Amino acid sequence: MTDTPHRRGADRTEAIMRTTLELGQEIGYAKLSIEAVAARAGASKQTIYRRWSSKGALLLDSLLSLNEPGLDYPETGDLVADLRAQIYAAVDLLGRPPFGPLFKALIGEAQHDPQIAATLNERFIAPQADKTIARLKTARDQGQLSPAFDLDLAMAILSGPLYFQLLITQEQLTHEYVDRILNVLFAGMGPRPQIDREPPEAQ
């Protein structure tokens, strides 16, 4: 029979992460406690502490487990369409409930927990950025972009305003806003002032 009140290893890990997301969605990150996760998951606190060193680390893993394959880029040959599709997907997943608030809270936690910050970067931010950069690089290699096109900076201009709106102004992210950013990235802001004069001295 499959009664099996509690089992081992991966079993418990998976149950705890699922409970973390559930409870996090219900009561929010601030009120989430390891105590409560343990109670609801039918696990002991020790079992949680054996695997994760903090509430943030637990939530991070729980969220990452949702996205095992990652938010991948389609490769239709149409650069802008591909970027748009991927960014729409990311914004839809991370910019709205149920996962948006938890994702935001996690980034919040990263602000005073360097370990969370590092792991978040290594396991989510950097891989995501790398995919964006790789897609842009393909386009540049195919001559769709100028050889001088700054891949890193382009990635920052695509991501930065979205995170700014997500984290700072806390307005709802829309597809329309994504489009505006894509447009300005490739079309520019229009006629421009003199910029070619050198800045004072480096930082």
Partner DNA sequence: TATTAAACGAGACGGTACGTCGCGTCTTGGT
Partner DNA sequence: ACCAAGACGCGACGTACCGTCTCGTTTAATA
Task: Among 37, 58, 63, 105, indicate the residue that binds its own copies (CB under 8 A).
Answer: 105
Short-list 31, 20, 30, 130, CA closest to 64: 20
Give, for 51, the enclosing helix (H) or strand (E).
helix 45-51
Q: Is 28 in the site for DNA (CB under 7 A)?
A: no
Q: Please give the full DSSP string across 56-120, using - where no structure is assigned.
A: HHHHHHHHHGGGTT--PPP--S-HHHHHHHHHHHHHHHHSSTTTHHHHHHHHHHHTT-HHHHHHH
- Measured in degrees and rounded to the nearest 5, phi and psi for residue 172 equal -65, 135
How far apart are the C-alpha atoms of 166 and 85, rounded to whole Å?
19
Give, for 9, the enclosing helix (H) or strand (E).
helix 9-27
First to last CA, the chain: 68
CB of 167 to DNA, least distance (A): 23
- Measured in degrees and rounded to the nearest 5, phi and psi for residue 134 equal -65, -40
User: Considering CB distances under 5 to 8 angstroms, the limit depending on partner class, which of its own copies, DNA, none binds residue 168?
Assistant: its own copies
Q: Is 171 in the site for DNA (CB under 7 A)?
A: no
Q: For residues 115 and 53, is the Cβ–Cβ distance under 8 A?
A: yes
Task: Among 2, 4, 46, 146, indicate the residue that binds its own copies (CB under 8 A).
Answer: 146
Task: Among 40, 61, 101, 131, indicate the residue that binds its own copies (CB under 8 A).
Answer: 101
Q: Is 33 in the site for DNA (CB under 7 A)?
A: yes
Whose Cβ is closer to DNA: residue 39's or residue 64's? 39
User: Considering CB distances under 5 to 8 angstroms, the limit depending on partner class, which of DNA, its own copies, none binds residue 66?
Assistant: none
CB of 33 to its own copies, least distance (A): 13
Task: Among 41, 113, 132, 135, indicate the residue that binds its own copies (CB under 8 A).
Answer: 113
List of residues contacting its own copies (CB under 8 A): 28-30, 79-80, 84, 88, 101, 104-105, 107-114, 117, 120-121, 125, 139, 144-146, 148-150, 153-154, 156-157, 159-165, 167-170, 174-176, 179-197, 199-200, 202-203
